């Protein structure tokens, strides 16, 4: 297949690499030249414009960061909607609100653009290995065209029906789990440090106990590195947990644990740690005396 990946950050670049290794023709677009150079070195076709990447593609996968960027690359001047082949499908993977993706769908419908709401989970490792969990929804024709690509990207592809926004709602709840687990990890490390305990030893204990979680096993080692390369920052979870709270507000549903976790990520951002890897939320707590 001819697949365009718009947004070659950590997740987009890893997904593009996976698709290349599986024999697909992958075009990529990003505003950063370094990202385009890396795609070229991997065997893909870099493009400086969305039009260049999207024209003639069978599918376009959008891996940008947030709703503002989705608006810009999909509906903005020279965006995906203006250049997508009528037989192609747009697969939107960014973590956004259900109401936002429904609005995008309404905007694109008059032009006949086929859109699938398909946020993912599994991190860079899952994107690189094609083992992502995909939470998808959308019109049946769009899903039929997207499924071959989704199955190359993920080993767990879940279809939540015709309605755009259902996939994003599932992802929002996923981020509730992830954010709370990360907040607890940061609090536990900070508490252990205050007690004078070695955090490495603590993670060895908790990683093999009933306290263990995927987040602990994935982020724990990074939490102990001085400056780990960051694929997901504290500020990203400020955004993601805000989406969780927005969903609760829209549904008039209380989310006290999500609110507490959000406050800790906000604290990390407020004290200048927002660009750190999300495993370093413990730095938002007072240093040991």
1-15, 31-45, 72-86, 138-152: least confident range: 72-86
Q: How far apart are CA 64 and CA 42, in angstroms?
A: 20
Q: Find the mean pLDDT for residues 87-91.
A: 96
Q: How many CB atoms lie within 10 A of CB 77?
A: 7
Tell me the CB-side half-sphere exposure of residue 140, using CA atoms within 13 A. 0
Residue 225: the pLDDT is: 95
Residue 174: the pLDDT is: 97
Count how many residues are written for the chain: 289
Tell whether the model's pLDDT for residue 230 goes beyond 90: no
Q: What is the percent of the chain where pLDDT is above 70?
A: 100
Chain position carrying tokens 């065209």: 145
Out of 22, 171, 239, 252, which one is annotated catalytic? 171
Active site residue 239: no
Residue 62: the pLDDT is: 97
**Domains with residue ranges and CATH for the chain:** 2-162 (3.40.50.720), 169-284 (1.10.1040.10)
Q: Note the pTM of the prediction, 2 decimals.
A: 0.93
What would the two tokens of residue 32 be? 């950063």
Residue 287: the pLDDT is: 82
The chain-wide mean pLDDT, for the chain, equals 96
Q: Write the CB contacts of 76 (distance below 8 Å, at least 6 apart in sequence).
A: none
Q: How far apart are CA 40 and CA 196, in angstroms?
A: 49
Q: Write the CB contacts of 138 (distance below 8 Å, at least 6 apart in sequence).
A: 105, 114, 115, 116, 117, 118, 146, 162, 164, 167
Tell whether the model's pLDDT for residue 136 goes beyond 80: yes
Per-residue pLDDT tens digits for 164-200 = 999 999 999 999 999 999 999 999 999 999 999 999 9
């Amino acid at each position: 297949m001819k697949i365009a990946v718009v947004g070659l950050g950590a997740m987009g670049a890893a997904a593009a690499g996976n698709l290349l290794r599986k024999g697909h023709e992958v075009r990529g677009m990003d505003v950063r030249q370094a990202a385009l150079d890396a795609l070229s070195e991997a065997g893909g076709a870099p493009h400086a414009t969305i039009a260049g990447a999207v024209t003639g593609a069978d599918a376009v996968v959008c891996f940008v960061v947030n709703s503002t960027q989705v608006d810009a690359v999909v509906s903005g001047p020279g965006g995906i909607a203006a250049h997508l082949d009528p037989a192609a499908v747009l697969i939107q993977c960014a973590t956004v609100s259900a109401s936002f993706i429904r609005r995008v769908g309404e905007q694109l419908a008059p032009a006949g653009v086929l859109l699938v709401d398909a946020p993912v989970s599994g991190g860079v490792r899952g994107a690189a290995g094609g083992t992502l969990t995909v939470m998808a929804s959308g019109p049946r024709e769009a899903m039929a065209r997207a499924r071959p690509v989704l199955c190359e990207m993920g080993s767990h592809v879940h279809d939540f029906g015709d309605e755009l926004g259902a996939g994003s709602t599932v992802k929002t709840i996923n981020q509730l789990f992830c954010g709370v687990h990360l907040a607890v990890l940061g609090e536990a490390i900070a508490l252990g440090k205050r007690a004078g305990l070695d955090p490495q030893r603590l993670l060895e204990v908790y990683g093999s106990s009933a306290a263990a979680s995927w987040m602990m096993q994935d982020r724990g080692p990074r939490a102990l590195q001085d400056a780990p390369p960051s694929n997901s920052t504290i500020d990203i979870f400020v955004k993601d947990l805000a989406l969780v709270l927005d969903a609760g507000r829209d549904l008039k549903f209380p989310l006290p644990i999500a609110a507490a976790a959000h406050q800790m990520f906000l604290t990390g951002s407020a004290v200048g740690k927002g660009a750190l890897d999300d495993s370093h939320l413990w730095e938002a707590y007072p240093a040991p005396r």
